[in-house]
Chains A and B, each alone.
Chain A
Amino acid sequence: MLALLARVFRENRELSTFVVCAVTSFVFMALTPSAKDVLSNALGTPLRPFKELRATRVRIKDVEEEVALLRALAVRLTDDKRTLMEYKHENDRLRELMGFLVSFPEEEHLELVPARVVGLPGVRAIETIEIAAGTNDSISIDKAVVVPEGLVGKVVRVLKNLAYVEPVGTAASEVSVTIERSRVRGVVRARYGGPSGLLSRWIDYVPARSDVRLGDLVVTSGLGGVYPPGLAVGRVSSVTEDPVTMSVGIELAVDFSTIEQVFVVTRTHATAPGLSDDERRLLGEIERAREAGEID
């Protein structure tokens, strides 16, 4: 039998080669795991650089995917941050406005209508402020416009949903003011020209030797009936003595180029608004019921 097999193998070299290869394969498969590791390490040397190349390629692909994901995330986070900053600015502004409303003198009883600034046209300086409120919001001509920092100006033209405000200190504007500390009066006006050709604001009609100092707070006097008294207009920035009058420069309290929201003073009351007949009747009934012990 063995002799027959040997003869077959001798005569068929292809078959004998195959049998040797197949048996060797089975022997390899039957080796212990540690022996397989040793053999694999030894036999796999020629392929190792190519395997490492492939591994590097896979790593690079992974890193590229990660970079793309992170870039997308960064874009989204930047967008989110921009939105949050916008909210923060709005929040800060609303807090400021809230503080302004709370701190306003209660005895003045001003009725304020909020309005958003929608335009600031002007050539050398801001000459008009457009606000998104009009006759539909009970706004009319000659109403004072204020912000927490102080006086902005007055309404000079009104449409249904749009109004034009003439800022204090422009060429056409005149505002009667008082130096808060010394109660000295004057009128704030604008002057163009001079060496620089720029717009500057002055308090005119201040008598010579008046008690005016640098840094004094300037507020509205209330004369003329347009502006309520006591609104901050600015601070004294320069004082020059002339023979008859004083030249008093003023730095305005409000920077018109940065305002986003204003309030229009639609009504002022010297005292608190009175109660209507119905309200008086209702209050009387409540008082009677309390005296009768029907309510606490």
Chain B
Amino acid sequence: MRAGVFAVVAFVAVVLDVTVAPEIAIWGARPDFAVLALVYGSLVLGGRAATIAGFSMGLLIDTGNPEYLGLNALALAVVGYATGGVWDHLVRTNVLVQCVVIFGATMLHDFIYYLIYYRNHLDFFADSMLSQGVVGAAYTAAFGLVIFAVARLSGWRAIADGSQG
């Protein structure tokens, strides 16, 4: 049941990434809804589900840029696997921890993505990481605050109470 809900949430996140994120970009940096869904997916369902979801979401996003098919899939699979493993060592109910994990996950995604995308132009890689990666990660982490607040108000214990369910 929860896996089905997560699949729907993951698809909605990809749709938001494709349609809404470009509209609300700040200085060219967009919030990464896919990473956001993955972080909370890994928190609720664990690393394995998050890895599969990350791979699938990435593949779906890559259809928009066929030349780099598999790049987002790899980056999001890494994010899913990494966040799934990291939750076991952190206090999940702390909103600050959640924001830091989201920030780190977004940076990790951008790092992998830009590193392969600009593999022959490392100056562009560094520039993109500094100009878009950091701002985008902070922007995405800010959405984490919103999700935490909504979870607390709605009584979603898996996110706001720290129980893995």
A residues apposed to B, CB below 8 Å: 13-15, 17-18, 21-22, 24-29, 31, 33, 36-37, 39-41, 43-44, 46-47, 50-51, 53-54, 57
Would you list 16 pairs from A and B whose C-beta atoms are within 8 A, ordered by A residue?
Answer: A14-B46, A14-B48, A14-B51, A18-B51, A18-B80, A25-B55, A25-B73, A26-B70, A27-B70, A29-B74, A29-B116, A31-B69, A36-B67, A43-B59, A43-B63, A47-B64
- Which residues on the B side are within 8 Å of A44 (C-beta)? 60, 63-64
Helix, strand, loop or mixed for chain B's interface?
helix
For the complex, give the distance between the alpha carbons of A33 and B27 in Å: 32
CA distance in complex: A129, B66 (Å): 82
Report Cα–Cα, A53/B22, bound state, in Å. Answer: 13
The 4 A-B pairs at the shortest CB distance, nearest first, are namely A28-B70, A44-B63, A25-B74, A40-B66
The A-contacting residues of B in range 15-67, CB under 8 angstroms, are 15, 18-19, 22-23, 46-48, 51-52, 54-55, 58-60, 62-64, 66-67
The CA of A44 and the CA of B18, in the complex, are separated in Å by 12
- For the complex, would chain A's binding face be called helix, strand, loop or mixed by DSSP majority? helix
> Given A24-B55, A44-B64, does the pair A54, B19 have CB atoms closer than 8 Å?
yes
* Cβ-defined contact, A18 with B66, below 8 A: no
Q: Which residue of B lies closest to A51 (CB)?
A: B18
Which single member of A36, A50, A54 contacts B66 (CB below 8 Å)?
A36
A residues less than 8 Å from B84 (CB atoms): 14
Q: Residues of A contacting B68 with CB < 8 Å?
A: 29
> Given the interface contacts A28-B59, A40-B69, does A47 sit within 8 Å of B14 by beta carbon?
yes
Query: Measured between alpha carbons, how far is A41 from B59 in the docked complex, in Å?
Result: 12
Q: Check B85 for interface membership: any CB of A closer than 8 A.
A: yes
Q: Which residues of chain B are near A36, meaning CB under 8 Å? A: 66-67, 69
Name, among A21, A29, A33, A50, the residue most crowded by chain B CB atoms within 10 Å (CB to CB): A21
Question: What is the total of A-B residue contacts with beta carbons within 8 Å?
Answer: 95
Closest to A31 in B: B69
- The interface residues of chain A lying within 8 Å CB-to-CB of B47 are 14, 18
Total count of chain B residues near the partner, CB < 8 A: 35
Chain A residues within 8 Å of B54, by CB:
21
B143 in the interface (beta carbon within 8 A): no
**In the assembled complex, which residues on chain A have CB atoms less than 8 Å from the CB atom of B85?**
14
Q: 5 new A-B pairs (CB below 8 Å) besides A13-B48, A25-B70, A27-B70?
A: A18-B51, A22-B77, A24-B55, A25-B77, A31-B70
How far does the alpha carbon of A14 sit from the alpha carbon of B51 in the complex, in Å?
8
Q: Closest approach, in angstroms, between the C-beta of B59 and any C-beta of chain A?
A: 6
Cross-chain contact B67 with A21 (CB below 8 angstroms): no
Asked whether A17 and B51 contact (CB < 8 A) given A22-B77, A29-B74, the answer is: yes
**Docked complex Cα distance between A17 and B56 (Å):** 12
Enumerate chain A residues within 8 angstroms of B60, measured Cβ to Cβ: 43-44, 46-47
**Contact at A50–B63, with CB atoms within 8 Å?**
no
B71 at the interface (CB under 8 A from A): yes
The answer to whether B70 and A29 have CB atoms under 8 Å apart is yes
A25 touches B51 (CB 8 A): no
B74 touches A22 (CB 8 A): yes
Residues in B with CB closer than 8 Å to A43 are: 59-60, 63
**B78 interface hit (Cβ, 8 Å):** yes
Within 8 Å by CB of B73, from A24, A37, A41, lies A24
Judged by a CB distance under 8 angstroms, whether B11 is at the interface is yes
**Chain B proximity of A151: nearest CB distance (Å):** 73
Cα A14 to Cα B55 in complex, Å, equals 13
Collect the chain B residues with CB atoms within 8 Å of residue A57's CB: 19, 23
Question: CA separation between A50 and B12, bound complex, in Å?
Answer: 11
Verify if B125 is at the interface (C-beta below 8 Å from A). Answer: no
> In whole angstroms, what is the CA distance A57 to B59 when docked?
24
**With A14-B85, A21-B54, A28-B69 as contacts: A47 and B63 at CB distance below 8 Å:** yes
